[in-house]
Amino acid sequence: MGSKQLISAHKENAEIYHGSCLCKQKSIELLCLMNLPKALLPLTDLVELGYNPITGFVWLKQKQPYHHRFRGIGRTVSYDAEVTTFIEDGRMRRLTGVKSKELLIWVSISDIYVDENQDHAGTITFASSTGLARTFPVSTFEVDE
């Protein structure tokens, strides 16, 4: 199912916001509400944000794709013009539109979760559908760089 079809399937009962400042504010509020780091989605020029609290489906639309360098972990992340995910407490699953540069290739990120295990408290893991995963300190994504 394409992202346009997925979005239209979840529009009923969704909270939909427009405008760059309001969408940025609502994206940060949603991340905080779901116990995810507030700088996890450093998107600029957002034109629409939608959130269906019943299904947990979120979509973000930007004017154009965006590349962001997380200096704290030394990684560049690419965000498509449309990013979609199902969000729940401490986790994003079935993520689309987000890729991380690993060595010379771009790897699609499909899951992001904060580890609640006592041994790994304060870590966040980014996983691809191919099984590749990287774990970093949550603190790296708490403050906009």
Beta bridge partners of 105: 102
Q: What does the alpha-carbon distance between residue 35 and residue 144 come to, in Å, rounded to a whole number?
A: 16
Q: Where are the alpha helices (DSSP H) in 34-142?
A: none
- pLDDT of the residue at 119: 55
Per-residue model confidence as pLDDT tens digits over 65-99? 999 999 888 899 999 999 999 999 999 999 999 99
Nearest to 43 by CA among 101, 100, 83, 89: 83
Q: What percent of the chain has pLDDT over 90?
A: 66
In the chain, which ranges are E strands? 15-18, 46-52, 57-62, 66-70, 75-88, 91-102, 105-108, 111-115, 123-127, 133-137
Nearest to 66 by CA among 75, 55, 77: 77
Q: Radius of gyration of the chain from Cα atoms?
A: 14
pLDDT at 60 over 80: yes
Q: What does the alpha-carbon distance between residue 125 and residue 111 come to, in Å, rounded to a whole number?
A: 8
pLDDT at 118 over 60: no
- pLDDT of the residue at 12: 81
Confidence of residue 133 (pLDDT cuts 50, 70, 90): very high
- pLDDT of the residue at 7: 73
The domain limits of the chain are 3-141
Per-residue model confidence as pLDDT tens digits over 36-58? 999 999 988 999 999 999 999 99
pLDDT at 26 over 90: yes
Q: What does the alpha-carbon distance between residue 144 and residue 5 come to, in Å, rounded to a whole number?
A: 32
- pLDDT of the residue at 115: 84
Contact, 135 vs 121, CB < 8 A? no
Q: Residue 25: which H helix or E strand, with range? A: helix 20-33
